[in-house]
Amino acid sequence: MLHLVNVSNWQSFSIGEKTYYSPNTELIAKLKQNPEFEFWKTTYTEFACIVVDNTSGIILLVRDHFGCEPFFYYLTPRRIYFASSLAELIPALRQDGIVISVNEIELKYMLWVGKMLIHSTKVHEDTLYNGIKRVKPNHVVTISANKVIQTQYWSLSSNCNETIYYKNEDEYLEHFSELLHEGVKLQIGAETAIAAECSGGLDSSSIILAAHHLNKPLMLYTHLDQDYDPAANRLRESYFVEQLVHKYAFKHSNINADDFNLPEAFEMVTNVLAGQMQSIFPLGANIIHAQVAAGKSKILLSGFGGDECVSGHANLSAFLPQLLKRGEYKKAWQEYHQHYIVNKLPKPAIIAQAKTWIRAQFPDLGEKIFLRRYQQKKQHFAKLGFSLPEYLARASSVAEFEVRQLIGIDNNHISYRIEDSALIARHYGFKYKYPLLYPKLVEFCNRLPLHMKRENGLARIMIRKYLAQAGMPEFSSKPIAKFDGSIMGSALTKIKETYQSHFEKQLNSPLLYNEIQLQILNSDPNLLSNSKLYQDLALLVLNQYLVK
The reply to whether 494 and 512 lie within a common domain is no
The reply to whether 16 and 71 lie within a common domain is yes
DSSP-derived pairing of the beta strands 431-433 and 299-301: parallel
Between CA 324 and CA 337 the distance in angstroms is: 15
Q: What is the pLDDT of residue 116?
A: 46
The reply to whether 360 and 445 lie within a common domain is no
Task: Choose the weakest-confidence range: 148-162, 220-234, 438-452, 488-502.
Answer: 220-234
Ordered alpha helix ranges (H), 384-438: 398-406, 412-428
Domains in the chain: how many in total?
Answer: 4
| pLDDT at position 262 over 80 | yes
Q: What is the pLDDT of residue 91?
A: 98
The reply to whether 332 and 259 lie within a common domain is no
Between CA 282 and CA 278 the distance in angstroms is: 9
Between CA 344 and CA 486 the distance in angstroms is: 20
The reply to whether 480 and 367 lie within a common domain is no
The reply to whether 381 and 282 lie within a common domain is no
| pLDDT at position 295 over 90 | yes
Q: What is the pLDDT of residue 316?
A: 83
231 or 169: which leads in pLDDT: 169
Q: What does residue 459 show for φ and ψ, rounded to 5 degrees?
A: -95, -175
The reply to whether 56 and 200 lie within a common domain is no
The reply to whether 28 and 118 lie within a common domain is yes
| pLDDT at position 383 over 80 | no
The reply to whether 300 and 332 lie within a common domain is no
DSSP-derived pairing of the beta strands 72-75 and 79-83: antiparallel
Which residues neighbour 76 within 8 Å (Cβ) at sequence distance 6 or greater?
98
User: Are the C-beta atoms of 67 and 137 separated by less than 8 Å?
Assistant: yes
| pLDDT at position 427 over 80 | yes
**Strands of 79-83's sheet, edge to edge?**
3-6, 79-83, 72-75, 132-134
Per DSSP, the three-state class of 52 is: strand
CATH of the domain at 146: 3.60.20.10
User: Are the C-beta atoms of 292 and 195 separated by less than 8 Å?
Assistant: yes
- DSSP character at residue 347: P
Q: Which of 94, 127, 154 is the last residue of a domain?
A: 154
The reply to whether 469 and 380 lie within a common domain is no
Task: Choose the weakest-confidence range: 42-51, 89-98, 397-406.
Answer: 397-406
| pLDDT at position 330 over 60 | yes
Task: Choose the weakest-confidence range: 93-102, 183-192, 303-312, 439-448.
Answer: 303-312
Q: Which of 486, 502, 518 is the last residue of a domain?
A: 502
Please state, as a whole number, how many other Cβ atoms lie within 10 Å of the Cβ of residue 246: 10
Between CA 184 and CA 435 the distance in angstroms is: 5
Length of the chain counted residue by residue: 548
Q: What does residue 254 show for φ and ψ, rounded to 5 degrees?
A: -85, 130
Q: Which of 481, 502, 523 is the last residue of a domain?
A: 502
Domain extent, residue 147, equals 3-154
Average pLDDT over residues 475-504: 78
Averaged pLDDT score across all residues of the chain: 89
- Give residue 496's pLDDT band: very low, low, confident or very high (50, 70, 90): confident
Burial of 312 (0-12, 13-18, 19+ CB in 10 A): buried
Q: What is the pLDDT of residue 59?
A: 97
Closest CA to 490 of 197, 225, 288: 225
70-122 pLDDT, tens digit each = 999 999 999 999 999 999 999 999 999 999 999 998 898 888 754 444 445 67
- Give residue 367's pLDDT band: very low, low, confident or very high (50, 70, 90): confident
8-36 pLDDT, tens digit each = 999 999 999 999 999 999 999 999 999 88
Q: Give whichever of 81-95, 302-316, 322-336, 405-419 has the largest mean pLDDT.
A: 81-95
pTM for this one? 0.93
- Give residue 234's pLDDT band: very low, low, confident or very high (50, 70, 90): very low
Q: What is the pLDDT of residue 405?
A: 85
- Give residue 233's pLDDT band: very low, low, confident or very high (50, 70, 90): very low
DSSP string, 98-123: ----B-HHHHHIIIIIHHHT-S--PP
The reply to whether 376 and 238 lie within a common domain is no
- Give residue 224's pLDDT band: very low, low, confident or very high (50, 70, 90): confident
The reply to whether 340 and 230 lie within a common domain is no
Q: Mutual orientation of helices 202-213 and 169-188 as an angle, nearest 10°? A: 80
| pLDDT at position 228 over 70 | no
- Give residue 548's pLDDT band: very low, low, confident or very high (50, 70, 90): confident
Q: What is the pLDDT of residue 529?
A: 64
Please state, as a whole number, how many other Cβ atoms lie within 10 Å of the Cβ of residue 163: 14
